[in-house]
């Protein structure tokens, strides 16, 4: 008597169910459900106690993973005499596939799908990690920065496949770490996994590769510009933010215009931007002793102090112009006296904090808080890690207030609020 445990994924089997015999392909079996694929392609998830395995018609090759992928990752797409872009894959949806056993989307190392799309650029790829981006850490940013520097030393530009959830954090961290760079660094993700015919991965990667052949000497994020497979926007990493959970055009430049667009095979960059330099210089230390507090009505002193204690710096996302409840001000005073840096950003995301307008703001200044103008909260977080890691403590406030990579908008203009078309 054959048993389900004897059957490997991909085997052709005959089984009986509801009084009829069927042929199909065995997919998966767990404690109470057997999944089989019928000849018409449908998967049936049948109760184990209702299905009988009649026989194994043809056993799939051992190791269960059955059929080889039709398109395997190519190490290099050769286009002699063309610009050379290196691709570093870290995981995320753009490099994700369906895991047919669990049914969930998970990272894959197969990035061969871009090979058909880009004929005018030579692309070499390397998988340096394989994670969903919520699992990113400052240590991984440090590793990533080293890998990007090495890539730039042997190519004209570098693109990084990254999950979209924390892409702005990662790209900002890399942006601060590179004080000079020989080629563009373009982060790219996708909102629909590449196993789907409608995936935005193909177009996003195509756009990012072309962005990486320009003289853009900064770190950018390339994603869909709108709902159409028509144009790609590049956002300055330190002004970018994921503003939608699921749309292709989830990324927006906050408070400024995008820095570049790609459509119909050509890139348009919108100055001002830093031009590519002559060497790749990184300061690769990050001090993760920074926390971020989203202020809300009823936030207790106890919880606040818990988030502040033992941190070297704390980013507060205050309300409006940069406020928190009066009840927290004694705790802030105490913390700054003890040397903790407390910095103010706004939940509004758009616009600057200004602590001179209301009495609460003036009290916060007296309490020792450092206002960060229109710097985005997440950018302030990674910038604080960078500044703490690479500069002396007495330089901290000055460095945080200095506009290092375009993270502060000096003149905010009216027409870039909202971002949507």
DSSP, collapsed to helix, strand or coil, labels residue 136 as: coil
Of the candidates 68, 81, 271, 297, which one interacts with other proteins according to CB under 8 A? 68
Q: Which residue number, 94 or 313, has a Cβ lying nearer to other proteins?
A: 94
Please report, as residue ranges, which positions from 145 to 204 form the binding site for other proteins (by CB under 8 A). 191-192, 194-199, 202-203
DSSP, collapsed to helix, strand or coil, labels residue 271 as: coil
- What's the CA gap between 323 and 348, in Å, rounded? 11
The minimum distance between CB 53 and other proteins, in angstroms, equals: 17
Query: For residue 191, what are the CA distances in angstroms to 203, 233, 359?
Result: 12, 14, 44
Q: Which residues contact 420 (CB under 8 A, 6 or more apart)?
A: 252
110 is catalytic: no
Of the candidates 30, 50, 180, 270, which one interacts with other proteins according to CB under 8 A? 50
Of the candidates 44, 54, 299, 349, which one interacts with other proteins according to CB under 8 A? 44
- Asked if residue 38 binds other proteins (CB under 8 A), the reply is yes
Q: Which residue number, 154 or 244, has a Cβ lying nearer to other proteins?
A: 244
Short-list 402, 347, 392, CA closest to 370: 402
What DSSP string describes 155-183? Answer: SSEEEEE--STTHHHHHHHHHHHEEE-SS
- Asked if residue 47 binds other proteins (CB under 8 A), the reply is yes
- Asked if residue 39 binds other proteins (CB under 8 A), the reply is yes
Q: Where does this chain touch other proteins (CB under 8 A) — which range of 62-70, 76-84, 349-357, 395-403?
A: 62-70
DSSP, collapsed to helix, strand or coil, labels residue 71 as: coil
- Asked if residue 25 binds other proteins (CB under 8 A), the reply is yes
Q: Which residue number, 201 or 332, has a Cβ lying nearer to other proteins?
A: 201
DSSP, collapsed to helix, strand or coil, labels residue 243 as: coil
Of the candidates 8, 12, 54, 105, which one interacts with other proteins according to CB under 8 A? 105
The minimum distance between CB 85 and other proteins, in angstroms, equals: 21
Of the candidates 229, 305, 363, 412, which one interacts with other proteins according to CB under 8 A? 229
- Asked if residue 242 binds other proteins (CB under 8 A), the reply is no
Short-list 123, 111, 88, CA closest to 213: 123
Of the candidates 1, 67, 392, 414, which one interacts with other proteins according to CB under 8 A? 67
Q: Which residue number, 46 or 259, has a Cβ lying nearer to other proteins?
A: 46
Of the candidates 2, 45, 57, 357, which one interacts with other proteins according to CB under 8 A? 45
Contact 354, 322 (CB under 8 A): yes
Q: Which residue number, 245 or 298, has a Cβ lying nearer to other proteins?
A: 245
For CA atoms 92, 97, 98, 99, give the dihedral sign. negative
The minimum distance between CB 6 and other proteins, in angstroms, equals: 20
CA angle (204, 208, 211) in 5-degree steps:
140
93 is catalytic: yes
Query: For residue 133, what are the CA distances in angstroms to 88, 107, 215, 289, 361?
Result: 14, 10, 28, 20, 36
- Asked if residue 69 binds other proteins (CB under 8 A), the reply is yes
Of the candidates 230, 303, 393, 397, which one interacts with other proteins according to CB under 8 A? 230
In the stretch 1-20, what mask flags binding to other proteins with x, by CB under 8 A? ---------x------xxxx
- What's the CA gap between 164 and 299, in Å, rounded? 29
137 is catalytic: no
166 is catalytic: no
Contact 67, 32 (CB under 8 A): no
Choice among 35, 93, 166, 182 that is catalytic:
93
Short-list 178, 144, 405, 157, CA closest to 282: 178
- Contacts of residues 367-370 at CB distance under 8 Å and 24 or more positions apart, as own/partner, are 367/329, 367/332, 367/333, 367/336, 367/342, 368/332, 368/333, 368/336, 368/337, 368/342, 369/316, 369/332, 369/336, 369/342, 369/343, 369/344, 370/341, 370/342, 370/343, 370/344, 370/397, 370/400, 370/401
Choice among 156, 165, 200, 249 that is catalytic:
165
Of the candidates 236, 248, 373, 405, which one interacts with other proteins according to CB under 8 A? 248
Q: Where does this chain touch other proteins (CB under 8 A) — which range of 95-103, 133-141, 362-370, 401-409?
A: 95-103
The footprint of other proteins (CB under 8 A) covers 10, 17-20, 25, 27, 33, 35, 37-47, 50, 66-71, 98, 100, 103-105, 113, 191-192, 194-199, 202-203, 226-230, 245-248
Which sequence positions are flagged as catalytic? 93, 164-165, 242
């Amino acid at each position: 008597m054959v048993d389900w445990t004897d059957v490997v994924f991909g085997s052709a089997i005959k089984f009986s169910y509801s009084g009829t015999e069927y042929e199909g392909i065995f997919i998966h079996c767990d404690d109470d459900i057997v999944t089989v694929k019928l000849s018409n392609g449908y998967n049936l998830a049948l109760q184990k106690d209702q299905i009988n395995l009649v026989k194994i018609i043809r056993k799939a090759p051992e190791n269960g993973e059955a059929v080889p992928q039709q398109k395997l990752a190519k190490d290099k797409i050769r286009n002699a005499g063309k610009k050379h872009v290196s691709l570093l894959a870290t995981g995320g949806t753009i490099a994700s596939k369906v895991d047919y056993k669990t049914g969930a989307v998970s990272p894959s190392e197969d990035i061969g799908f871009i090979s058909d799309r880009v004929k005018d650029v030579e692309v070499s790829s390397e998988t340096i990690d394989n994670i969903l981006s919520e699992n990113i850490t400052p240590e991984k940013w440090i590793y990533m920065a080293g890998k990007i520097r090495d890539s730039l030393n042997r190519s004209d530009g570098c693109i990084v496949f990254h999950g979209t959830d924390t892409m702005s954090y990662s790209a900002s961290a890399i942006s601060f770490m590179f004080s000079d760079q020989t080629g563009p660094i373009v982060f790219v993700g996708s909102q629909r996994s590449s196993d789907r015919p409608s995936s935005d991965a193909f177009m996003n990667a195509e756009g990012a590769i072309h962005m990486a052949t320009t003289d853009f000497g900064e770190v950018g994020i390339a994603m869909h510009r709108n709902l159409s497979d028509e144009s790609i926007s590049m956002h300055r990493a330190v002004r970018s933010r994921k503003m939608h959970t699921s749309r292709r055009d989830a990324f927006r430049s906050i408070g400024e215009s995008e820095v570049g667009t790609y459509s119909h095979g050509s890139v348009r960059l919108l100055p001002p931007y830093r031009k590519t330099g002559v060497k790749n210089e990184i300061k690769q230390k990050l001090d993760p002793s920074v926390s971020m507090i989203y202020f809300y009505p009823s936030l207790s002193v106890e919880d606040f102090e818990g988030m502040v204690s033992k941190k070297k710096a704390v980013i507060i996302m205050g309300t409006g112009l940069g406020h928190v409840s009066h009840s927290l001000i004694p705790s802030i005073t105490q913390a700054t006296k003890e040397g903790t840096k407390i910095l103010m950003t706004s939940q509004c995301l758009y616009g600057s904090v200004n602590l001179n307008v209301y009495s609460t703001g003036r009290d916060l200044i007296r309490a020792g808080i450092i206002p960060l103008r229109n710097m985005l909260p997440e950018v302030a977080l990674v910038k604080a890690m960078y500044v703490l890691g690479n500069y002396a403590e007495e330089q901290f406030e000055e460095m945080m207030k200095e506009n290092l990579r375009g993270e502060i908008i000096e003149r905010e203009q009216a027409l870039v609020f909202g971002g949507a078309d």
